[in-house]
Amino acid sequence: MNFDFLKVWWADFAAWVNSLFGSLVSTVTRFFAAMTAAIGLAWSLFLVVLEIVDVGAAFQSIADVMNSAAGLVRGLPVAGVMAQLNRIFPINEFLALMGFLLALHLIVIGIRILIFLFNLLLGLISAILQLLAKVF
């Protein structure tokens, strides 16, 4: 029996799947690039808003926990230590803000790593489909 028609059909099918996944990968990559840019822009705007708005009251409980730990480690009364530090530098708001910004920054980094891994997976699928199209 002659199976040339099957080879031709498979080559056409593989080319169709390759073009479909190629356009899908391109679309998804563009989407995630746009989302990454949007997240970066939103992050920048959020940082600007945080600089404008006083965030000390919102994160006061976090700062209180840090203050208590700092005072207890030194073996000094917490109120006295923090009163001295707050005269020099408003440490409560600074520590709370730095902790919050670090957490948000790690979330954004995690999202970017996931986007990179997803793009890598889509590229690998596309390469495998192209290889299958060439082999069959």
- Say how many CA atoms lie within 13 Å of 82 toward its Cβ: 19
Using alpha carbons, list the distances in angstroms from residue 112 to 3, 101, 119. 48, 17, 11
Note the pLDDT tens digit of each residue in 9-40. 767 777 777 777 777 767 777 777 777 777 77
Could you give the count of Cα atoms lying within 13 Å of 78 in the half-sphere of its Cβ? 11
Domain boundaries, the chain: 4-135
Quick check: pTM over 0.95?
Answer: no
Tell me how far CA of residue 1 lies from CA of 5, 13, 42, in angstroms: 11, 21, 63
- pLDDT digits 0-9 by tens, 55-97: 555 555 555 655 555 555 555 555 555 566 666 666 666 666 6
With contact defined as beta carbons under 8 Å apart, do 18 and 134 qualify? no
